[in-house]
Amino acid sequence: MTQTGRRVVLHIGAPKSGTTYVQSRMQLNHEQLLAHGVLVPQNVAEEGPSTLMFRAALDLTGIRLWRGRKYADGRWDRLVGTTRRHHGLTWISDEAFVRADDAAAVRAVRELGGDGEVDVHVVYTARDLGRAIVSAYLENLKHGGLEHFATYLDRGRADELKVMRAFEIDTVLGRWLAAVGDPAKVHLVTVPPEGGDRSQLWTRFLDVAGVDPAWAPAPAAKVNDAVGLPEAQFLRALNESLEGAAQRGGRYHALVRDIVVGQGLAPRPRTRVRLDPRHEDWVRARTEVWQAWVRGSGIDVVGDLADLDVVATDPAEWVDPDRLVPGAVEAADAALAAVRAEMRRRDAKP
């Protein structure tokens, strides 16, 4: 069994909704998928084969994310050309596409679709906003963030966080629905609640794409797990001590992201950071607005809208990430050990 007919499945995000997990499985299985007529577009070797979709998303949206024009310019046209030459299903995924404005969304659908020659479907994965905004905060810490958790949540509530725009289901999917023109071709895939089977997200995604699980047997090699509570506290303190040099474009950004976090903190057992119960009211209210929009829009829902419901936390059990907890010193020891190991590895290189 192979894919027939020309289709594009464009996965546009949202951030912190299992996108790294989905993309890892796509990339690891791209050769097996291609044997069944499913193309996961690959970049030229010297630029990194798996980077084409990310670079193309930056090119389409005009957002550079601290990268020069050379990194992205021309990659959208390259992606479109690769897609137009394929006569089966093309599977595209990168959360940077969520940054597209109205004009970029229209352009994407028109050019990927070859003015109607190719059937274009848009997929948006979403998790409950309570988990999503906490994950966004922890991701920000990985990239040199300095804010206290309370400040971050206050700014989210006041619509002062850029990442909130990517979580607004009605705005994002309303834009892409207008571009596609058919609600049956716009798909909302919900992320299973915390503690659920991670592979269920993959199964839901495959259902939308019409891909047999047997075509992609290799499991994901990469997931973007959040750091835990004491690790987050140590990381924010480290970022403050580095005075901004761990932020994107800073001298120590890669060191903190790849070594301190990737090798030292992320692998540690996690005590999870939870949404402050005092913010559950506005998170719940926004979620209900988005759920009502989805019901009225006619778009395809894969999963359950109840997966987006905020999960309440008992105020008596909630731990404030801005107040020191046991384990922060141990987190610092783990991070330091990872840095020392990397230094030894680099010193041993000829």
Task: Answer yes or no: is 325 within a domain.
Answer: no
pTM here is 0.91
Domain count, the chain: 1
What are the helix (H) ranges across the chain?
A: 19-28, 30-35, 52-61, 69-72, 75-84, 102-112, 129-142, 149-157, 163-167, 169-180, 199-209, 229-241, 253-254, 280-297, 328-348
Which range among 159-173, 183-197, 279-293, 330-344 shows the weakest confidence by mean pLDDT?
A: 330-344
Please tell me the distance from the alpha carbon of residue 210 to that of residue 116, in angstroms, as a whole number: 20
pLDDT on residue 194: 82
pLDDT tens digits, residue range 225-247? 778 898 898 888 888 888 888 89
State yes or no: pLDDT of 157 exceeds 90: yes
Query: Would you state the structure tokens that stand for residue 293, as one six-digit string?
Result: 């929009």
Order of strands, edge to edge, in the sheet holding 119-126? 38-39, 89-93, 7-11, 119-126, 186-190, 300-302
Query: Would you state the structure tokens that stand for residue 232, as one six-digit string?
Result: 């987050």
CA geometry: angle at 49 spanning 176 and 180, to 5°?
10
Task: Answer yes or no: is 212 within a domain.
Answer: yes
pLDDT tens digits, residue range 297-337? 999 999 999 999 999 999 999 999 998 877 776 777 777 77
Which burial class, exposed, middle or buried, applies to 144 when counting CB atoms under 10 A from its CB (0-12, 13-18, 19+)?
buried
Nearest to 205 by CA among 18, 71, 346: 18
Task: Answer yes or no: is 218 within a domain.
Answer: yes
Output the CA torsion sign for 315, 320, 323, 325.
positive
Query: Above pLDDT 90, what percent of the chain?
Result: 71
Task: Answer yes or no: is 233 within a domain.
Answer: no
Which range among 18-27, 30-39, 160-169, 261-270 shows the weakest confidence by mean pLDDT?
A: 261-270
Range of the domain at 75: 7-129+163-224+277-309
Task: Answer yes or no: is 342 within a domain.
Answer: no
pLDDT on residue 245: 87
Query: Would you state the structure tokens that stand for residue 321, as one six-digit string?
Result: 């990430």
Please tell me the distance from the alpha carbon of residue 341 to that of residue 348, in angstroms, as a whole number: 11
Grade residue 349 by pLDDT with cuts at 50, 70 and 90. confident
User: Do 188 and 169 meet the contact criterion of CB atoms below 8 Å apart?
Assistant: yes
Distances (CA, A) of 100 to 56, 65, 179: 12, 14, 11
Grade residue 146 by pLDDT with cuts at 50, 70 and 90. very high
CATH of the domain at 209: 3.40.50
